[in-house]
Amino acid sequence: MPRDRLRELLDAVLGDENSSLGAMAEAAYVSPFHFARTLAAGAGESPVALRRRVMLERAAWRLARGARVTDAALEAGYESVDGFTRAFARAYGHPPSSTPARTPHRLPAPNGVHFHPPMHLWLTAEASRSAGHEVVELQVHHDVADTRALLELAAGLPAAVTSARTRPGQLVLDWDGPEESVADVLGAVVWTKEVWLASIEGLDQPERVDRELPELLDHHREISARWLAMVRTAESTGAWGDRVVDALCDPPQSFILGGIVAHVLTYAAHRRLIVRAMLRDVGIEVDAGDPLDWIARRSTPRP
């Protein structure tokens, strides 16, 4: 069986005699500096903070089952009951002496590592799920917002610019056909979501319509609202691994829902960059479309 180095480090953190960083490092046969750096990288939490939190969780579990505050404080490694009481009250919002029976003992954790009764650890997937959710949410919302910004920009330009076939024969995906103008490429961004939503929602194949840019902007608002709702539902129900049987394909094919979203985001990002390049080719100034810039703008308070 392969060596689980992270588990060995956690054992060193939580060993009964290892109340200091030096003792933890000695138990793991490494220097305190290397021990702290390795544990923080693997668990997202310093050794001392992780130990303190898990010991408080154990204390809360013991108190909820009738343990005395003094005993819980000593078992948690505190030298005084007063110090333990202050730390416990900060973490749980009430003093240890008033801990209700069967109260939940888990505290917020960046790594999913928790005390598990009676003397074990529990490693949940909650931290990774949260992080994954945040990344997906950012990408999906940035895609929608950036597409809207490009549509708004293009809708204000002369039709001679946005409808000009400046890139004859340009293909992004063979089955989508040529995308030779700015309007073509932006239409494909919206159309891709529309056709995949039809498969996911069990609707008939939508008719592909060539819309003027102001009309396409309105259509994008409708499609993006449905797209965001679908993503929220998939996240809340844990459906990312579900398979969608796409009867619109000939013959029908099945696709993993998370893969569909990844596919859409990949080619939407590619097309948005193509639009920017096409606009620059004709002297239109446009930003880089960087998600970091978008986040910064959202975070900046309005005057």
Contact 121, 53 (CB under 8 A): no
Instruction: Kindly tell me if the per-residue pLDDT of 254 is higher than 90.
Output: no
Which carries the bigger pLDDT value, residue 299 or residue 163?
163
Which carries the bigger pLDDT value, residue 288 or residue 302?
288
Q: What is the predicted pLDDT for the residue at 303?
A: 45
- What's the rounded Cα separation, in Å, for the pair 28 and 170? 59
Contact 139, 265 (CB under 8 A): yes
Q: What is the predicted pLDDT for the residue at 183?
A: 97
Q: Mean per-residue pLDDT for 242-265?
A: 80
**201-258-150 Cα angle (round to 5):** 80
- For the record, the structure tokens of 235 come out as 């996240």
What percent of the chain has a predicted confidence (pLDDT) above 70?
77
Domains of the chain are: 5-124 (1.10.10.60), 129-299 (1.20.120.450)
Q: In degrees rounded to 5, what are phi and psi of residue 105?
A: -100, -15
Q: What is the per-residue pLDDT across 230-250, written as a single tens digit (0 to 9) for each? A: 998 888 788 888 888 665 566
Q: Mean per-residue pLDDT for 151-165?
A: 96
CA distances from 148 to 213, 228, 292 (A): 11, 14, 17
pTM above 0.75, yes or no: no
- For the record, the structure tokens of 252 come out as 């029908």
Q: Mean per-residue pLDDT for 197-215?
A: 89
- What's the rounded Cα separation, in Å, for the pair 52 and 46? 10
Write the burial class of residue 211 (CB in 10 Å: 0-12 exposed, 13-18 middle, 19+ buried): middle
